[in-house]
Amino acid sequence: MSAVRAIGLMSGTSCDGVDALLVELAHVDERHEPRVLGHSHVPFPTQLRAELRDPTELTLRRVAELHFELPQLYHAAVQGLPQWRSAAVCGMHGQTVWHAPPSHGVPVSNTLQLGSSGTLAHLLGMPVVGDMRGADLARGGEGAPIAPFSHWFFTPPSSRTRLVVNVGGIANYTCVTPEVEHVTAADVGPGMMITDALARHVSRGALDCDHDGELSEGGDIDRAVVDFILGHPFFRRAAPRSTGREDFGGGFVAALLVRFGGLEGATLLRSSLWATATAIVQAAREQARPIDEILLTGGGARHPGLREMVAEQAAPIPVLVHDAGVFAPEHHEPAAMALIAARTLARLPSSLPRVTGAREAAILGHVHW
């Protein structure tokens, strides 16, 4: 197959905005690391961030409005890419406002990502692939995590075993093995979701996150806070498992503050970060194959305190962060969406049943022309 350029769009559980990435894939059916041709980020307005962080408070009318408003922001992100018109397809994840897969014990598995792919296809004048999780859920899978296939695809063949950890609002890992049939992946638990919420609490809404670790600097690690976070029932669920804001969002943080709100803000934040690092390293230790290196990506990979905590707990396993390419923190999720879109256009599957628990692999998403 010939080279193809594709755009990927991702707005994750941090709800801070949308990342767009333009990549050039030499082919869509053989593993390789593609060329990154451009990246752009469009932040969400403050009011929109607040709405998306507590979606259970949204009215049905507002949900419908957001479904058609979000593509306007996605369109702006694409327009920030150089040569965006050279792309053959755009992969749009959409904004998750609810996710209840089989592991949640619901009678009917369901998920909802807002953002009309038909609207975006019209605005861009190119095919858009959206609704990327539904096909896996329909086959009995969790519909998450969605990036493991791309982690394997973008890693050059090697005898080494790498744990790729995406630290977004939720943290998830992919254990990249030489053979795709041995790849494992799952949600780790909260990434920066709890820490971001605590940063907003401590700063009285002035800050959205613990930028460069400034708020958590000098704090202690309170073991009771760590145990409270790691004691969530999610950590007792059997694999395959996935999680989201419905587990570790505003309700969970409110309960944490009721119990530990008297602690210093820096201690709350540092304890939350330590819990995330512990969950990441525990995932590494639980793999059937020894891990040769841990690669952190996603927005949380930029947090100096979290990087240090993971390195401390994981030693002697090397812990890496890439500053360029598809595994750079801001790139890897939209790169996954671009790959899925390109493979869907070629009628190739991009899911891993071993990871999600689905009965079979699926061609992900549907195409709006």
DSSP 297-309: ESGGGG-HHHHHH
**Same-domain status, 259 and 117:** no
The whole-number pLDDT of residue 1 equals 62
**Same-domain status, 277 and 154:** yes
Whether residue 343 lies inside any domain: the answer is no
Whether residue 346 lies inside any domain: the answer is no
**Same-domain status, 169 and 228:** yes
Full DSSP string of 240-274: S----HHHHSHHHHHHHHHHHTTS-HHHHHHHHHH
Whether residue 154 lies inside any domain: the answer is yes
**Radius of gyration over alpha carbons of the chain, in Å?**
19
At residue 355, what are phi and psi to the nearest 5 degrees? -85, -45
Peptide bond into 43 cis (omega under 30): no
**Same-domain status, 198 and 305:** yes
**Same-domain status, 101 and 216:** no
Whether residue 348 lies inside any domain: the answer is no
**Same-domain status, 136 and 159:** no
**Same-domain status, 201 and 119:** no
Alpha carbon of residue 351 to chain centroid: 15
Whether residue 330 lies inside any domain: the answer is no
**Same-domain status, 161 and 300:** yes
Q: Cα dihedral sign for 265, 267, 268, 269?
A: positive
**Same-domain status, 105 and 170:** no
Non-local CB neighbours of 206 within 8 Å, separated by 6+ positions:
none
Non-local CB neighbours of 261 within 8 Å, separated by 6+ positions:
none
Whether residue 41 lies inside any domain: the answer is yes
**Same-domain status, 137 and 224:** no
Of residues 8, 345, 96, the one with CA closest to residue 365: 345
Is 279:230 a contact under the CB 8 Å cutoff?
Answer: yes
- If one counts the domains in the chain, the total is 2
The whole-number pLDDT of residue 181 equals 85
The parent domain of residue 17 ranges over 4-142+356-368
Peptide bond into 316 cis (omega under 30): yes
CATH of the domain at 240: 3.30.420.40
**Same-domain status, 153 and 298:** yes
What are the 10-residue block averages of pLDDT along the chain, 369 residues in total?
Answer: 93 93 96 96 96 93 98 99 98 95 91 98 99 96 93 88 94 91 92 97 95 96 99 90 90 97 98 99 94 95 97 97 89 96 98 94 97
Is 8:21 a contact under the CB 8 Å cutoff?
Answer: yes
Whether residue 236 lies inside any domain: the answer is yes
End-to-end Cα spacing for the chain: 21
Residue with the two structure tokens 């009628």? 347
**Same-domain status, 80 and 206:** no
